[in-house]
Structure 1
Amino acid sequence: MLASSALRHFRKSVTKTFPCSTCLAKQTFTSHATKCTAKEPDQPLIKTNVPGPRSEALKQELGTVQNSGSVVFFTDYDRSQGNYIADADGNLLLDLYMQIASMPLGYNHPRLIQTVKNAQNLALFVNRPALSCFPPLQWMIRLRNALLSMAPPGLNSVQTMACGACSVENCLKSMFMTYQRQMRGGKPPSQEELQSCLINEPPGCPNLTVVSFSNAFHGRTMGALSMTHAKWVHKLDNPQPIWPIAQFPRLQYPLDQFERENRAEEDRCLAMVEELIEKFNKLDRPVVGICVEPIQGEGGDNMASPYFFQSLQNITKKNRISLMFDEVQTGCGATGKMWAHEHFNLDEPPDLVSFSKKMLTGGFFFRDHLMPQEAGRIFNTWVGDPSKVILLEEVAKVIKEQDLLKQVNETGKYLISSLEEAQVKFDGLISRTRGLGTHVAIDFKDPTSRDHFIKEARNKGINLGGSGSQTLRFRPSLILEKKHVDIFMDVFYSVVKEMYD
């Protein structure tokens, strides 16, 4: 039986909105017809410093069982709503970081709550199947409605995974296996290959390599880590193979004032890619592919022009190797297109595209020739989670119904123009405003200034994060609006003015 107060809540809360997570947790609903009045806050609310005393105490407690050094604050997810995150101390912050770029529709979106409540979905939330062996009856329908409906143009094959790093790992395996299959000319592997691979020796474990870029981030597991070059904390003490690392372009801004210089910089980096491929091939360490982020995330939000990525594709085609885009941070509409590489007008689809974060599930799309030929080559117990694909199916519907990609573009232009205006006023402190859609960044003059801004902004109700050494990165939800940009810019001016005076 429900308490009388909860019953009174029932009777007063028949509205057009869906139940918030607080109501779900307290079980103060009986059917889809009974709904609460939860809505996004109008503005931030700060009661304590961030993190506050309760968050600090919880962090200290967590530190007794694991390293809690990276914890910013503890979150009250029941009270978080839309673009606002609530912490353990009762503070409400406008969240422009969204769990490190991972929340497509913000917190407690009513359509996702309705999806969780739908009785037809319960079995796939309760039971997590070993998808490679025992997929559910509706699996192909779910894949078509969710992942394949959002697939990059020209890519019709998809493999689910659990996270971004394991998605990248299995992209690497796909490239390696495809290259070796081509080298065998369609013949089966030899007995020597089958035996030597079991003891980590060639020819079964060949000395294959992949080109990656300076300041890249592709994950923290061992294979992905081989291509990660952003920060020492990711790599120190971990043995790594010697693979080719090319320099990623460092563009000058505003772009229209440095066209000649930026083209020269990109040509320099492209020449290095070609030199490295030739060098490693001669060393009998063949390059099988190039892995690149459309916008380098963790390494400092570094961007390149469509010309650079078109040229990379030409290099891979000339050398008959694979081109992989790591879209873990940039996928699912963050740049105003579903996939950032769609901005580059490539001649043909890339060979592989990894995803996670806003896509709610990990995985990768790939061209048909990269399909594994033997069972169990791309495999683990779960290879994803069908409950996340169910949620993604609803996300895909909301993006289309509400034309959120158009909203991302409009809000992104407004954010970029607002930052560019501020950049002129605070010349010398901030610079290099850049981005696509709402996947935006700006640089501070040094790491200390950037970190100071992030701390002060949190204490004024804005949650943001950094990338690289001195970059402020924006990773909001797809439902961010111009009114939220105005709230942010008010705080931005108040903090930066204090720093500039």
Structure 2
Amino acid sequence: MQTVATIFSGNLRKNAKKVSNFTNWTRTIISTAGDIKRGPLPNYVAEEPDGPQIKTNIPGPRSLALKKELSYIQNSDAVVFFTDYDRSQGNYIADADGNLLLDLYMQIASLPLGYNHPRLHQALRDEHNAALFVNRPALAAYPPQQWIARVKSALMTLAPPGLNCVQTMSCGSCSVEYCQKSMFMLHQRRERGGLPPTDEEMQSCLINEPPGCPDLCILSFTNGLHGRTMGALSMTHAKWFHKLDSPQPKWPIAQFPKIRYPLHEFERENNAEVEKSLAEVEELIEKFNKLGRQVVGICIEPIQGEGGDNMATPYFYRALQRISKKYNISFMLDEIQTGCGGTGKMWAHEHFNLDEPPDLVSFSKKMLTGGFYFREHHMPQEPGRIFNTWVGDPSKVIMLEEVAKVIYEQDLLKQVEETGKYLISSLEEAQERFPNMLSRARGLGTFAAIDFKDAESRDYFIHKARNKGINTGGSGEKSLRFRPALILQKKHVNIFLDTLYSVVSDMK
């Protein structure tokens, strides 16, 4: 039986012969489409290889050829290599050239159970799920009848303590932007004393004018990353290419504490750095409020996952929440990278012993779906305020439901905690052996990082390690970051350590 894709690509090839001026690159793409393997889904098992298998340089010739083809359609400069997802398994990623790498990066922190977990394939094959995979519903208007049960089974099972409301979204950036919108809406509802908006507000907002479009702000921190779309960019301060050429509002940006390591040697200095940042937060809130540009919320990552794996003390986060209470503003934690178990707890902010639940917690990546948890007072009062066509995808929530079951059945949070301790202690040993090259080993669970002496050394290591079968990623200016799946074990850490010692020993 022919698939739709087979018929479509076949028709393209047949019709292309009739067009005399059909471009060379289009012919190349069509021929590539004809090479795509089709057939029944593989019968995956929960086994993985014993170690990396390297056959070519990475990226290899097949990946380079595909990257060149893609460049005719879109900018492909960010592509590392093309992946063979059929052959990827567990903690290992396979590329288009037959190489197999231990993946400590996991699709930029996005796969909770590694590649091709059998439970997820089982959910995909379950005929009871088929209609929700085939018919992607407009959830905000036409949710499926089993939607509430799915949300409770998946999202509410994993919810941060004390947060009983959740809204699904499609990605991390839109999750953050709707959190922003929720903060603005709550503030204005309080300003109106709970009354509905006036006619003037409803009309003026349509032309981007006050009072319907008030001049409100959200405070964020240096080196933070909260997304790459326009609203989320207003709080993103990690790298220039995220923001260049995009108009942005002038909102308050406080200095994230610059923590020194090892922690026990710099306790006094770190405490002073934290207090300095907290004082600046209050000064900025006061300053903007006096200018009539009301600060309505604070947004921060528990660990700055893109801006350098920067961490602060639990006290810092407790104090930030108290500042938000003092000024009656929202306290938002962006857990898009840190959520779903990577730190050894389901949510990184659980390490902080906050006085009460945060107002909003955004999520995506390992949660497979985007969205945010929120406290009841952030519930919209009018229909359509938090709305788009899909607001998520039931198929991703079905997958997350299985992820939640596996996490609890296999006690994966405990495994992450134990593997993480081993990883970080091993990184500390490595920096003692190579003090001129490595420093600042840090992390929670397997959400970890270590610094190289400079960006060039870090990037050189990533390249050499990849060609030895280890896939990793960078963070900030010179950090190497670890974003493995929850199923990472000590044996995998040892494979990485062999490569770390081998490569760094040859570096100057």
User: Is TM-score (shorter-chain normalized) higher than 0.5?
Assistant: yes
Aligned residue for 1:221? 229
Cα distance, 1:39 vs. partner?
A: 2.1
Aligned residue for 2:174? 166
Task: Find the residue that maps to 1:337 and give its secondary structure.
Answer: coil
Cα distance, 1:428 vs. partner?
A: 1.5
Residue correspondence of structure 1 range 411-422 to structure 2 within 5 A:
411-422=419-430
Aligned residue for 1:6? none
2:369 corresponds to 1:361: yes
Give the TM-score taking structure 1 as reference length: 0.93
- Residues 350 and 201 (structure 1), Cα distance of their counterparts in 2 relative to 1, 3 Å cut: same
2:462 is aligned, of 454, 457, 474, to: 454
- 2:289 and 2:192 mapped to 1: Cα distance? 17
2:270 corresponds to 1:269: no
- 2:195 and 2:462 mapped to 1: Cα distance? 57
- Residues 308 and 27 (structure 1), Cα distance of their counterparts in 2 relative to 1, 3 Å cut: same
The answer to whether the 8 Å contact 2:300/2:334 transfers is yes
2:305 corresponds to 1:292: no
Aligned residue for 1:153? 161
Cα distance, 1:384 vs. partner?
A: 0.2
- 2:195 and 2:128 mapped to 1: Cα distance? 46
- 1:465 and 1:183 mapped to 2: Cα distance? 45
Task: Find the residue that maps to 2:57 and give its secondary structure.
Answer: coil
Query: Which residue identity lines up with residue 385 of structure 1 in the other structure?
Result: D
Aligned residue for 1:315? 323
2:238 corresponds to 1:230: yes
- 1:334 and 1:202 mapped to 2: Cα distance? 43
- Residues 462 and 376 (structure 1), Cα distance of their counterparts in 2 relative to 1, 3 Å cut: same
- 2:312 and 2:231 mapped to 1: Cα distance? 25
Cα distance, 1:36 vs. partner?
A: 6.1
- 1:303 and 1:338 mapped to 2: Cα distance? 17
Task: Find the residue that maps to 1:150 and give its secondary structure.
Answer: coil
The answer to whether the 8 Å contact 2:301/2:333 transfers is yes
2:377 corresponds to 1:381: no
Give the TM-score taking structure 2 as reference length: 0.92
Aligned residue for 1:400? 408
**Gapped runs of 5+ residues in structure 1?**
2-23, 30-34
Task: Find the residue that maps to 2:487 and give its secondary structure.
Answer: coil
2:263 corresponds to 1:255: yes
- 2:198 and 2:390 mapped to 1: Cα distance? 30
Query: Which residue identity lines up with residue 331 of structure 1 in the other structure?
Result: G
Query: Which residue identity lines up with residue 205 of structure 1 in the other structure?
Result: C
Cα distance, 1:173 vs. partner?
A: 0.3
Query: Which residue identity lines up with residue 410 of structure 1 in the other structure?
Result: E
Aligned residue for 2:27? none
Aligned residue for 1:91? 99
The answer to whether the 8 Å contact 2:45/2:117 transfers is no
1:491 is aligned, of 489, 499, 505, to: 499
Cα distance, 1:26 vs. partner?
A: 3.6
Task: Find the residue that maps to 1:421 and give its secondary structure.
Answer: helix
2:153 corresponds to 1:142: no
- 1:36 and 1:100 mapped to 2: Cα distance? 23
- Residues 37 and 435 (structure 1), Cα distance of their counterparts in 2 relative to 1, 3 Å cut: closer
- 1:28 and 1:59 mapped to 2: Cα distance? 26
Output one character per residue of 1:440-474: Cα deviation in whole Å (capped at 9) or x when no partner.
Answer: 00000000000000000000000000010100000
- 1:155 and 1:37 mapped to 2: Cα distance? 36
Which ranges of 4 or more aligned residues in structure 1 deviate by more than 3 Å?
A: 35-38
Task: Find the residue that maps to 1:499 and give its secondary structure.
Answer: coil
- Residues 221 and 470 (structure 1), Cα distance of their counterparts in 2 relative to 1, 3 Å cut: same
Cα distance, 1:62 vs. partner?
A: 0.2
- Residues 271 and 499 (structure 1), Cα distance of their counterparts in 2 relative to 1, 3 Å cut: same
Task: Find the residue that maps to 1:192 and give its secondary structure.
Answer: helix
Aligned residue for 1:327? 335
- 2:382 and 2:93 mapped to 1: Cα distance? 46
2:40 corresponds to 1:27: yes
How many residue pairs align between the two structures? 473
The RMSD of aligned alpha carbons is: 1.1
1:340 is aligned, of 348, 360, 367, to: 348
Query: Which residue identity lines up with residue 354 of structure 2 in the other structure?
Result: L
Query: Which residue identity lines up with residue 228 of structure 1 in the other structure?
Result: T
Aligned residue for 2:479? 471
Query: Which residue identity lines up with residue 51 of structure 1 in the other structure?
Result: P
Query: Which residue identity lines up with residue 291 of structure 2 in the other structure?
Result: L
Query: Which residue identity lines up with residue 133 of structure 1 in the other structure?
Result: A
Task: Find the residue that maps to 2:358 and give its secondary structure.
Answer: coil
2:90 corresponds to 1:82: yes
Output one character per residue of 1:195-254: Cα deviation in whole Å (capped at 9) or x when no partner.
Answer: 110000111000000000000000000010000000000000000000000000010000
- 1:407 and 1:93 mapped to 2: Cα distance? 22
Cα distance, 1:421 vs. partner?
A: 0.4
Cα distance, 1:187 vs. partner?
A: 1.4
Aligned residue for 1:32? none
Aligned residue for 1:56? 64
Query: Which residue identity lines up with residue 267 of structure 2 in the other structure?
Result: E
Task: Find the residue that maps to 2:157 and give its secondary structure.
Answer: helix
- Residues 401 and 25 (structure 1), Cα distance of their counterparts in 2 relative to 1, 3 Å cut: farther
Query: Which residue identity lines up with residue 40 of structure 2 in the other structure?
Result: Q
- 1:258 and 1:156 mapped to 2: Cα distance? 39
Cα distance, 1:28 vs. partner?
A: 7.1
